[in-house]
Amino acid sequence: MRKAGRRTPRRRAKPARVRRRLAVSVVTSPASTTLARGLAAWLAGAAPASAGGAVAVALVSDARMRRLNRTFRGVDEATDVLSFEAGAPLVPAGGPRSAPDLGEIAIAVGVARRQAGAQGHSVGTELRILALHGLLHLLGYDHETDQGDMRRREERLRRAAGLPAGLITRTPGRHTER
């Protein structure tokens, strides 16, 4: 209750910090549905605050990844992760499609399984590492040309998310997905 004759000063509202939202969808085969569980929400939460827009993550077979790698990079082998700017059709025919404005990330499930085994962690952890790496590429980072900016950013985000060593740290010079 206010006393008569005395004004209570109004508090100025602090300007709200607007966080752009990252919408993540995951497309996978029925065989990999269990692996995909929670990946979209995790990536949206682990993404840098500046990340906004839509991203599609496609969990694909090693054979599909090999075709993508051969078509888009001229390398005839399956790789672990590829990032495609908006407009590159990755989602398999007949699959659900959103209109991603950042782009799409393809992750080879078989390669992820092998790398998880070699690193001694779960396939789910490896998928998160790969998705984060791919997202950073979609945000404009390129570890081959940025003098360590992507590596530092990946390490900070990875540590904050409780993930083990990232791709750049554990295999420097090997990843050339862009």
Question: Is pLDDT of 90 > 70?
Answer: no
Task: Of 151, 118, 117, 121, give the one whose Cα is nearest residue 136.
Answer: 151
Domain boundaries defined on the chain: 22-166
Q: What is the mean pLDDT of residues 57-62?
A: 94
Residue 57's pLDDT is 93
Residue 143 one-letter amino acid: H
| Residue-averaged pLDDT of the chain | 79
Q: What is the mean pLDDT of residues 77-97?
A: 70
Q: What is the mean pLDDT of residues 45-68?
A: 90
Global pTM? 0.76
CATH dotted code for 22-166? 3.40.390.30
The pLDDT-based confidence of 5 (bands split at 50, 70, 90) is: very low
